[in-house]
């Protein structure tokens, strides 16, 4: 069984101008993450993949393309969570058959599900598969928060091996690390990689690693080696870059930065905005400034 720890790029979505999935773009982004970025893993079907705007067939196709391109070169984790539980169950079985290393599932969102309902959701997804699961915890987008006691209840299922922690609450992160030494914790905010690594995470999953992998690796390795001031200097540059990316439009700008490196990363999916000339110009400036 593959070790799941390490740095993962959250795989970007790649779309043609008519909104269809760009297989060519996806394959190029995947190769770039393996050959150039030397990532440990890819997180397929997350927010960065614009996943929650896609049909079940499109999600399946992207899972297939990622596995076909990556083969066993890199750890593959599939985000199968959806507010449609039947779809999540179907996708979990689908990626198990494809040979993915693990699944992840966002907490069900939009409706105000109570904790018992959320717990039931994870149990139902896991009933049908023999796979390791990483809970996708992102309260600022889903509105779903857990206490340590609730995490404990979820973690009673041995198939749940960890959490993708996209949360800026370092007190909670520290409590999680102390309480669950055997569970895997993946940091979800790239701009907080250094403090999260200091607190003892097992890896990180991020959108900006598609373009900023080298600095992310340095921060992660230096912090683990307790070379904090060196790591901090790189986190400062990284956060200048992330601030500029966020100001110009997160996923679109990352794709435009990849375009500067010759990768046909494609467009974003409606209702996300198409690229404007100003956005393209700004992306070129960002590229010159940081790369
Ligand atoms: O894009 C988001 C949404 N978060 C990502 C990452 O947690 C997403 C993060 O890298 C992810 O893993 C996924 O695709 O599901 C941010 O983009 C980054 O830190 C900039 O804020 O919050």
Task: Give the model confidence (pLDDT) of 238-261 as tens digits.
Answer: 999 999 999 999 999 999 999 999
Alpha-carbon span 283 to 248, nearest angstrom: 8
Distance between Cα 148 and ligand 1 center (Å):
23
Percentage of residues in the chain having pLDDT higher than 90 = 99
| pLDDT one-digit tens code per residue, 70-100 | 999 999 999 999 999 999 999 999 999 999 9
Show the 3-state SS of 278-289: HHHHHHHHHHHH
pLDDT classification of 149: cutoffs 50, 70, 90: very high
To the nearest whole percent, how much of the chain has pLDDT over 70?
A: 100
**164 classed as catalytic:** yes
What residues have CB less than 8 Å from 174, skipping those under 6 apart? 199
pLDDT of residue 196: 98
Which run of H or of E encompasses 161?
A: strand 160-165
Ligand 1 in contact with 249 (CB < 6 A)? no
Q: How many CB atoms lie within 10 A of CB 77?
A: 29
Instruction: Decide whether any atom of ligand 1 lies within 6 Å of the 142 Cβ.
Output: no
Q: CA–CA separation, 200 vs 22, rounded Å?
A: 37
**Structure-block tokens of residue 172:** 């909670």
3-state secondary structure (DSSP) of residue 129 = coil
CA of 179 to the centre of ligand 1 (A): 25
ipTM: 0.97
Indicate if ligand 1 lies below 6 Å from the C-beta of 203: no
Is pTM, for the whole model, over 0.95? yes
Which pLDDT belongs to residue 291?
Answer: 96
Which residue's CA lies nearest to atom 3 of ligand 1?
47
Distance 208 CA to ligand 1 centre (A): 8
Q: At what angle do helices 170-179 and 148-155 cross, to 10 degrees?
A: 40
Model confidence at 49, pLDDT cuts 50, 70, 90, reads very high
35, burial (CB in 10 Å: exposed 0-12, middle 13-18, buried 19+): exposed
Q: Confirm or reject: Cβ of 190 under 6 Å from ligand 1.
A: yes
Tokens 């198939």 map to which residue? 159
Catalytic (active site) residue 43: no
The single residue of 8, 136, 209, 220 carrying the catalytic annotation is 136
pLDDT at position 180, please?
Answer: 98
Q: Supply the pLDDT for residue 188.
A: 97
Ligand 1, atom 7, lies closest to the CA of 188
User: Which numbered atom of ligand 1 lies nearest the CA of 205?
Assistant: 12
């Amino acid at each position: 069984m593959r070790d799941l720890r390490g740095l993962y790029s959250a795989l970007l979505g790649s779309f043609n101008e008519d909104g269809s999935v760009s297989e060519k773009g996806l394959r190029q982004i995947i190769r770039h993450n393996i050959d150039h970025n030397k990532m440990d893993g890819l997180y397929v079907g997350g927010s960065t993949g614009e996943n929650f705007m896609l049909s079940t067939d499109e999600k399946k196709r992207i899972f297939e393309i990622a596995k076909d391109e990556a083969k066993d070169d890199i750890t593959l984790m599939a985000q199968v969570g959806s507010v449609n539980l039947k779809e999540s169950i179907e996708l979990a079985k689908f990626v198990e058959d494809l040979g993915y290393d693990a699944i992840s599932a966002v907490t069900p969102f939009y409706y105000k599900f109570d904790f018992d309902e959320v717990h039931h959701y994870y149990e139902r997804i896991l009933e049908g598969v023999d796979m390791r699961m990483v809970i996708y915890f992102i309260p600022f987008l889903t509105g779903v928060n857990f206490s340590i006691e609730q995490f404990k209840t979820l973690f009673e299922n041995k198939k749940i091996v960890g959490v993708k922690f996209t949360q800026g609450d370092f007190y909670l992160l520290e409590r999680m690390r102390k309480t669950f030494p055997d569970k895997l914790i993946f940091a979800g905010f790239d701009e907080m990689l250094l403090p999260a690594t200091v607190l003892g995470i097992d890896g990180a999953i991020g959108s900006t690693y598609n373009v900023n992998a080298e600095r992310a690796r340095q921060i992660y390795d230096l912090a683990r080696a307790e070379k904090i001031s060196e790591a901090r200097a790189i986190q400062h540059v990284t956060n200048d870059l992330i601030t500029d990316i966020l100001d110009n439009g997160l996923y679109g700008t990352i794709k435009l930065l990849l375009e500067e490196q010759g990768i046909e990363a494609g467009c974003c999916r409606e209702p996300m905005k198409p690229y404007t000339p100003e956005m393209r110009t700004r992306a070129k400036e960002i590229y010159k400034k940081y790369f």
